[in-house]
Structure 1
């Protein structure tokens, strides 16, 4: 089998772990094909100022459709809300932490007004404004290691990142503060991976053995909120779904760029109805975007 992946250290770490887990099941060695995406080539623009649909996935989709690779591995949050009609997410392995973390020499409380915080996320910017931190927000792009280095080796005082990527790369010593999910709510799908194949692939059945049902239902529900709204990273939206006391709960928050909360919504029900719960929130949010 051949797997397609982006070439960043995080993408490679994620893909290699998936390959190891799959090899344990199949006994088959899997070859890696590194594919550069448009998002990898653009390093100067804010993502929310661009047409971000498929920015980090389109080239991998093409390789799949052209049968150059058998499957691809993505960070779930990078996926567009709609896949090509001939492709399918066949597995979401057990989700890593969805939480947001602060990278800085100072804690969140110690960062003073005027501190320079690097972010290219409209959602993170909105949360900083919501808590009236009065930071000087500076654009920052690059892989995880690059962004960490910019904090400790340039004039930036801090940045906010996903805990999952730092865990997967063994870089958690750089974390100063871990934010509760109800304080800075993560984007849909954060911490999860998506394994995609062609719908007609004869590898689907074996690859699907990597799927974790709960993780898949969580991220499908979260993505459904965005799908219902027809938006990606152009609006500050946080969504998190989790099993709580044997019930499936999804919480979403919609803010303005200035940090005003437009709407918060909680829905609880059966995990079998996870996507419908996400759709319900999306319907409510429609009146605010």
Structure 2
């Protein structure tokens, strides 16, 4: 089998874990193919100022469609809301912590007005404004290690990241604070992986054994909010789905860039109806975008 992945340390760590898990259920050798995406090549622009559809996935999709690779491993939150009609998500492995974390030499409450915080996320920028932090927000791109080094150097006082990436790279010692999910609500699909195959792939059945039903339902519901709205990272939207007291619960919040809450909404019920709950929230939000 051949797998396609981006070349960052995080992408490789994620892909290697998937390959390790696959190796436990199949005797096939798996060759790793590193494919550079448009998003990897553009390092001087805020993501929300660009046409971000497929920014980190398009080249991998092309390799799949041309049968150069059998499957691709993505961070679920990087997926465009609509896949190519010949491709599908064959598996969503068990999700890692979806929380946002602070990387800084100071505690969150110690970061006063005009502290320099690096982010290229409109959602994170909106939450900083929502919490009245009055930061001097600086664009920041690059892999996790690069962003940490900019905080540990003199460039920045802090940055925000996904906890899952630091867990996967064994870099949790750099975490200053783990934020509650309702304090800084994560991006849809944060902490989860998506394994993509062609719909007609003969590898699909074996790959599907890596699927975790609860994780899949959670992130599909979260992404459905965006799909119903027809938006990606151009709007500050947080979404998180979880099982609470044996009941499926999805919460989402829509803000302005300035941190004003336009609408927040929660749906609860059976996990079987997860995607419908996400769609319902998206419909509610449509009146506010």
Coarse TM-score class (shorter-chain normalised): over 0.9
Which deviates further from its counterpart, 81-90 or 151-160? 151-160
Task: Kindly indicate whether residue 52 of structure 2 is the aligned counterpart of residue 52 of structure 1.
Answer: yes
* 3-state SS in 1 of match to 2:24: helix
Q: State the alpha-carbon separation in 2 of the partners of residues 143 and 176 from structure 1.
A: 19
Which residue matches 1:246? 246
Q: State the alpha-carbon separation in 2 of the partners of residues 68 and 155 from structure 1.
A: 41
* 3-state SS in 2 of match to 1:280: helix
Which residue matches 1:182? 182
* 3-state SS in 2 of match to 1:26: coil
Q: State the alpha-carbon separation in 2 of the partners of residues 25 and 160 from structure 1.
A: 37
Which residue matches 1:211? 211
Q: State the alpha-carbon separation in 2 of the partners of residues 142 and 223 from structure 1.
A: 24
Which residue matches 2:116? 116
Q: State the alpha-carbon separation in 1 of the partners of residues 207 and 134 from structure 2.
A: 47
Runs of 4+, deviation exceeding 3 Å: none
TM (norm. structure 2) is: 1.00
* 3-state SS in 1 of match to 2:176: strand
**How far did residue 143 of structure 1 move?**
0.3
Which residue matches 1:222? 222
TM (norm. structure 1) is: 1.00
Q: State the alpha-carbon separation in 2 of the partners of residues 154 and 206 from structure 1.
A: 48
Q: What's the CA shift string for 1:101-122, capped at 9, x where partnerless? A: 0000001011111100000000
Superposed, which structure 2 residues align to 1:185-200 within 5 Å? 185-200=185-200
Structure 2: gaps of 5 or more residues: none
Q: State the alpha-carbon separation in 1 of the partners of residues 170 and 110 from structure 2.
A: 25
Q: What's the CA shift string for 1:55-99, capped at 9, x where partnerless? A: 000000000000000000000000000000000001000000000
Which residue matches 1:8? 8
Superposed, which structure 2 residues align to 1:153-168 within 5 Å? 153-168=153-168
Q: What's the CA shift string for 1:225-256, capped at 9, x where partnerless? A: 00000000000000000011111000000000
**How far did residue 154 of structure 1 move?**
2.5
* 3-state SS in 2 of match to 1:205: helix
* 3-state SS in 2 of match to 1:25: coil
Which residue matches 2:65? 65
* 3-state SS in 2 of match to 1:109: helix
**How far did residue 27 of structure 1 move?**
1.9
Q: State the alpha-carbon separation in 1 of the partners of residues 90 and 249 from structure 2.
A: 23
Superposed, which structure 2 residues align to 1:123-162 within 5 Å? 123-162=123-162
Task: Kindly indicate whether residue 68 of structure 2 is the aligned counterpart of residue 74 of structure 1.
Answer: no
* 3-state SS in 1 of match to 2:109: coil
Q: State the alpha-carbon separation in 2 of the partners of residues 27 and 157 from structure 1.
A: 48
Structure 1: gaps of 5 or more residues: none
| Count of aligned pairs | 289
**How far did residue 155 of structure 1 move?**
2.6
Which residue matches 1:101? 101
**How far did residue 50 of structure 1 move?**
0.2
Which residue matches 2:42? 42
Task: Kindly indicate whether residue 286 of structure 2 is the aligned counterpart of residue 286 of structure 1.
Answer: yes
Aligned-residue CA RMSD (Å) = 0.4
